[in-house]
Amino acid sequence: MAEETDYSRARELMVKKQLIPRKIRDESVLSTMRTVPRHMFLPEDMRHLAYSDAPLPIGQKQTISQPYIVALMTQLLELDESDKVLEIGTGSGYQAAVLASIAQQVYSIERFESLAENARRILLELGILNVEILVKDGSEGEVKFAPYDAIIVTAAAPKVPQPLLDQLADDGKMVLPVGGRDGQVLERWRRKGADFSHERIAPVAFVPLVGDYGWDAEEHKISWWR
């Protein structure tokens, strides 16, 4: 009980020190970040770092994102409880858990089976049942459940994957990092019928989106971090 209380205090401090001063204002996002146990998505020997202001390694040269980036990307999607969300890059499962706490249904794609299995296990342990994790090339999206009210890509694309634009619902929003191997810009795309508009939000550094509409796996065997 004392340990869980310590984690609760750490989450509250994270929100007060890391999120609110950086203009995270959406109450549903703040409430979710206060309650979703980020430490559960990390190995036990790293849980003391769970609420630090930094990304952390989770294996397969992937990371769990900095809490602020998770909150920012979620806020930019402007989710409500009826939304269907597609996430590209399950990773630890933490971002999916945050999305699932606000939206109705989350479909999340991961290319590493080991990460997908671990994320499924943790989500089940936490009783989060509105996330379905698929193992495949995330740059292709998933047409089976399209269109999506929101799409979030937690890996860096050299350009916006056309299949993801095609799978975005009318009035839907997509948030993703776009750019080169040395850094990217977080962008938000909106769909209005057949037309798309986008805005550039902030400089970021993410691991690469590997796939047919992303980076080539052999070309990018370097360790990127987000």
Residues designated as active site: 65
Contact 152, 85 (CB under 8 A): yes
The rounded distance, in Å, linking the Cα atoms of 78 and 62 is: 26
DSSP class of 54: S
The rounded distance, in Å, linking the Cα atoms of 226 and 216 is: 19
The rounded distance, in Å, linking the Cα atoms of 69 and 92 is: 15
The rounded distance, in Å, linking the Cα atoms of 188 and 174 is: 6
To 5 degrees, how large is the angle CA 18–CA 37–CA 56?
60
To 5 degrees, how large is the angle CA 108–CA 191–CA 80?
55
Tell me the backbone φ, ψ of residue 209, rounded to 5 degrees.
-85, 110
The rounded distance, in Å, linking the Cα atoms of 46 and 121 is: 18
Token output for 23: 């203009």
Sign of CA dihedral 24, 124, 151, 80: negative
Tell me the backbone φ, ψ of residue 59, rounded to 5 degrees.
100, 165
